[in-house]
Amino acid sequence: MAESERKIVCSNRRARFDYHIEETFEAGLVLVGSEVKSLRAGRAHLKNAYARVEKGELFLMHAHIAPYEPATRQNHEPERARKLLLNRREINRMGGKVRERGFTLIPLDIYFRKGRAKLTLALARGKRRFDKREAIAKRETERRLRRVVRRRARGR
Protein backbone atom coordinates (compact mmCIF):
# COMPACT_ATOMS: atom_id res chain seq x y z
CA MET A 1 0.00 0.00 0.00
CA ALA A 2 1.34 3.43 -0.96
CA GLU A 3 1.99 6.02 1.75
CA SER A 4 -0.75 8.41 0.63
CA GLU A 5 -3.48 5.76 0.33
CA ARG A 6 -6.42 5.70 2.70
CA LYS A 7 -7.27 2.54 4.61
CA ILE A 8 -10.94 3.01 5.46
CA VAL A 9 -11.85 1.56 8.87
CA CYS A 10 -15.57 2.36 8.95
CA SER A 11 -17.99 4.54 7.07
CA ASN A 12 -21.37 6.07 7.74
CA ARG A 13 -23.24 4.69 4.73
CA ARG A 14 -26.57 6.10 5.83
CA ALA A 15 -25.29 9.70 5.95
CA ARG A 16 -25.48 10.29 2.19
CA PHE A 17 -29.06 8.99 2.19
CA ASP A 18 -30.26 11.05 5.17
CA TYR A 19 -28.40 14.32 4.45
CA HIS A 20 -27.54 16.73 1.64
CA ILE A 21 -23.74 16.98 1.84
CA GLU A 22 -22.65 20.59 1.27
CA GLU A 23 -18.94 20.47 2.11
CA THR A 24 -16.43 17.94 3.47
CA PHE A 25 -13.38 18.36 5.69
CA GLU A 26 -10.56 16.08 6.81
CA ALA A 27 -9.94 16.17 10.55
CA GLY A 28 -7.44 14.39 12.76
CA LEU A 29 -8.67 12.32 15.72
CA VAL A 30 -7.22 12.51 19.24
CA LEU A 31 -7.24 8.90 20.43
CA VAL A 32 -5.75 6.77 23.21
CA GLY A 33 -3.69 3.66 22.42
CA SER A 34 -6.43 1.08 22.90
CA GLU A 35 -8.72 3.06 20.55
CA VAL A 36 -6.10 3.03 17.80
CA LYS A 37 -5.65 -0.74 18.13
CA SER A 38 -9.40 -1.27 18.08
CA LEU A 39 -9.72 0.92 14.97
CA ARG A 40 -6.96 -1.01 13.21
CA ALA A 41 -8.99 -4.16 13.94
CA GLY A 42 -11.99 -2.46 12.29
CA ARG A 43 -14.17 -2.46 15.41
CA ALA A 44 -15.96 0.89 15.13
CA HIS A 45 -19.14 2.39 13.75
CA LEU A 46 -20.53 5.87 13.16
CA LYS A 47 -24.23 5.05 13.23
CA ASN A 48 -25.49 7.84 15.54
CA ALA A 49 -22.34 9.97 15.52
CA TYR A 50 -22.17 13.72 15.01
CA ALA A 51 -19.69 16.52 15.71
CA ARG A 52 -20.20 19.56 17.91
CA VAL A 53 -18.30 22.81 18.39
CA GLU A 54 -17.78 23.59 22.09
CA LYS A 55 -15.72 26.55 23.34
CA GLY A 56 -13.87 26.88 20.03
CA GLU A 57 -12.97 23.16 19.86
CA LEU A 58 -14.52 20.41 17.77
CA PHE A 59 -15.65 17.11 19.33
CA LEU A 60 -16.93 13.86 17.85
CA MET A 61 -19.91 12.61 19.84
CA HIS A 62 -21.46 9.10 20.04
CA ALA A 63 -18.96 7.42 17.72
CA HIS A 64 -18.58 3.84 18.95
CA ILE A 65 -15.06 2.39 19.07
CA ALA A 66 -15.26 -1.02 20.71
CA PRO A 67 -13.00 -1.74 23.71
CA TYR A 68 -9.75 -3.49 22.80
CA GLU A 69 -9.87 -6.84 24.59
CA PRO A 70 -6.12 -7.31 25.38
CA ALA A 71 -5.95 -3.84 26.99
CA THR A 72 -7.72 -4.79 30.20
CA ARG A 73 -6.97 -1.98 32.67
CA GLN A 74 -6.05 0.78 30.24
CA ASN A 75 -9.17 0.38 28.11
CA HIS A 76 -11.26 3.32 26.91
CA GLU A 77 -14.91 4.33 27.16
CA PRO A 78 -16.53 3.15 23.86
CA GLU A 79 -18.66 6.24 23.16
CA ARG A 80 -16.68 9.02 24.78
CA ALA A 81 -16.37 12.47 23.20
CA ARG A 82 -13.23 12.60 21.06
CA LYS A 83 -11.46 15.81 20.13
CA LEU A 84 -11.06 16.55 16.42
CA LEU A 85 -8.07 18.43 15.06
CA LEU A 86 -8.85 21.07 12.46
CA ASN A 87 -7.68 24.53 11.50
CA ARG A 88 -9.09 27.26 13.80
CA ARG A 89 -10.64 29.19 10.89
CA GLU A 90 -12.39 26.08 9.62
CA ILE A 91 -13.77 25.32 13.09
CA ASN A 92 -15.08 28.88 13.48
CA ARG A 93 -16.64 28.86 10.00
CA MET A 94 -18.34 25.50 10.60
CA GLY A 95 -19.56 26.61 14.02
CA GLY A 96 -21.14 29.69 12.51
CA LYS A 97 -22.93 27.72 9.80
CA VAL A 98 -24.21 25.17 12.31
CA ARG A 99 -25.57 27.89 14.60
CA GLU A 100 -27.13 30.16 11.98
CA ARG A 101 -28.10 28.15 8.93
CA GLY A 102 -29.40 24.85 10.24
CA PHE A 103 -26.47 22.70 9.16
CA THR A 104 -25.15 19.75 11.14
CA LEU A 105 -21.71 18.11 11.25
CA ILE A 106 -21.84 14.43 10.29
CA PRO A 107 -18.84 12.06 10.15
CA LEU A 108 -18.69 10.16 6.85
CA ASP A 109 -15.78 7.78 7.50
CA ILE A 110 -12.77 7.02 9.66
CA TYR A 111 -9.57 5.97 7.95
CA PHE A 112 -5.81 5.78 8.36
CA ARG A 113 -3.56 7.90 6.18
CA LYS A 114 0.20 7.75 6.66
CA GLY A 115 -0.40 5.91 9.95
CA ARG A 116 -2.63 8.63 11.39
CA ALA A 117 -6.32 8.24 12.18
CA LYS A 118 -8.39 10.71 10.17
CA LEU A 119 -12.09 11.48 9.88
CA THR A 120 -14.03 12.86 6.93
CA LEU A 121 -16.49 15.36 8.35
CA ALA A 122 -19.40 16.72 6.32
CA LEU A 123 -21.29 19.95 6.71
CA ALA A 124 -24.77 18.67 5.89
CA ARG A 125 -28.43 19.58 5.90
CA GLY A 126 -31.06 16.93 6.68
CA LYS A 127 -33.21 15.56 3.87
CA ARG A 128 -36.96 15.47 4.11
CA ARG A 129 -39.01 12.36 3.42
CA PHE A 130 -39.86 13.37 -0.16
CA ASP A 131 -36.14 13.97 -0.89
CA LYS A 132 -35.40 10.41 0.19
CA ARG A 133 -38.17 9.04 -2.03
CA GLU A 134 -36.77 11.03 -4.92
CA ALA A 135 -33.29 9.58 -4.30
CA ILE A 136 -34.70 6.03 -4.26
CA ALA A 137 -36.64 6.64 -7.50
CA LYS A 138 -33.54 8.05 -9.20
CA ARG A 139 -31.42 5.09 -8.10
CA GLU A 140 -34.03 2.61 -9.38
CA THR A 141 -34.26 4.39 -12.73
CA GLU A 142 -30.47 4.32 -13.14
CA ARG A 143 -30.44 0.62 -12.25
CA ARG A 144 -33.10 -0.16 -14.90
CA LEU A 145 -31.23 1.89 -17.49
CA ARG A 146 -27.97 0.00 -16.82
CA ARG A 147 -29.84 -3.29 -17.10
CA VAL A 148 -31.34 -2.34 -20.51
CA VAL A 149 -27.96 -1.15 -21.83
CA ARG A 150 -26.32 -4.36 -20.65
CA ARG A 151 -28.96 -6.50 -22.39
CA ARG A 152 -28.57 -4.58 -25.65
CA ALA A 153 -24.79 -4.88 -25.48
CA ARG A 154 -25.17 -8.68 -25.24
CA GLY A 155 -27.45 -8.66 -28.26
CA ARG A 156 -30.77 -9.74 -26.73
Specify the number of domains making up the chain.
1
Domain membership of residue 151 (yes or no) is no
* Residue span of the structural domain in which 37 resides: 6-127
Q: Is the whole-model pTM more than 0.95? A: no
* Residue range 70-95, pLDDT digits in tens: 766 777 677 788 889 988 898 888 88
Cα–Cα distances in Å, from 29 out to 99, 109, 121?
23, 12, 11
In sequence order, what are the beta bridge partners of 135?
Answer: none
Sequence-distant (6+) residues with CB within 8 A of 108 are 11, 12, 15, 16, 21, 24, 46, 120, 121, 122
Give a yes or no: residue 79 inside a domain. Answer: yes
Q: Is residue 84 part of a domain?
A: yes
**Residue 132 located in a structural domain:** no
The CATH number linked to 120 is 2.40.280.10
Q: Is 38 part of a structural domain of the chain?
A: yes
Report pLDDT for 107.
93
The answer to whether residue 29 sits within a structural domain is: yes
Nearest in space to 38 (alpha carbons), one of 73, 71, 11:
71
Residues in the chain with pLDDT values less than 70: 1-4, 71-72, 76, 156
